[in-house]
Amino acid sequence: MNNIESKRAARKIRRGKVTSDRMEKTITVEVILKFRHPLYKKVVRTTNRFNVHDEDNRARTGDLVEIMETRPISKRKRWRLVSVLKSSAEQEGTGGREESAISDQ
């Protein structure tokens, strides 16, 4: 390990759901953060949306993904896709095929 790597801060990693994949090499990821309010002790839920660099266009709308902070890639992209944790096709199962079978009858 050289001096540059030892001085660099740990990069932030977040998990979220893909809300849009219509752009080329870019996805929009919605990250939900829950924390306890320091004064009122109520659990507060905040939502952040990030434009994420997806080099291979792997992620689809509805996928659960892991993203990592990185150097600025464009005006609004400061995050990159690390991995697709769960695809939307796995979450839905065979729901789409059952509907088409019912409509054919």
Hey, what are 22's tokens?
Answer: 């219509």
Q: What is the pLDDT of residue 92?
A: 67
Q: In the predicted model, what is the mean pLDDT of residues 48-60?
A: 97
Specify the CATH number for 10-104; select among 3.40.50.720, 3.40.50.300, 2.40.50.140, 3.90.180.10.
Answer: 2.40.50.140
**pLDDT for 46 beyond 60:** yes
Is 12 or 93 the better-scoring residue by pLDDT?
A: 12
pLDDT number for residue 3: 62
Bridge pairing between strands 77-86 and 43-53: parallel
Per-residue pLDDT at 12: 96
- Whether the pLDDT of residue 98 is over 70: the answer is no
**Cα–Cα distance, 79 to 16 (Å, whole number):** 12
Average pLDDT of 37-43?
97
